[in-house]
Amino acid sequence: MKTQGTTSPLLKDELDDEDRINIARIFEEDVVPKLMMMHARNGTINCEFAGEEYKNWVIEFRSNRSGLDIVNFEYDRDSRSFALPGQPLKRDISKDV
């Protein structure tokens, strides 16, 4: 790990297996549904969604039959995150009559 000044959080410059598993779990649970709403098929996304300590990491993902797979992790200190859309609201349309 390395620090960026005295007030910045610790940033990881290397990922161990536990980090990769944690990022993959959060990606699958929280990020994949949002990317699928956006019809994403492949690309890269900043890992800050998994925590501040991963903000210098990006993952490369590709589509599979049931969702998206992570194919690579890459360190990029210049990468930036962006807001993904929220989950769509679900309501009972039978009450709209």
Task: Encode pLDDT of 46-87 as tens digits.
Answer: 999 999 999 999 999 999 988 999 999 999 999 998 888 876
Which pLDDT score, from 0 to 100, does residue 84 have? 84
pLDDT at 11 over 70: yes
Q: Is 93 exposed, middle or buried (0-12, 13-18, 19+ CB in 10 A)?
A: exposed
Q: Which residue has the higher pLDDT, 92 or 34?
A: 34
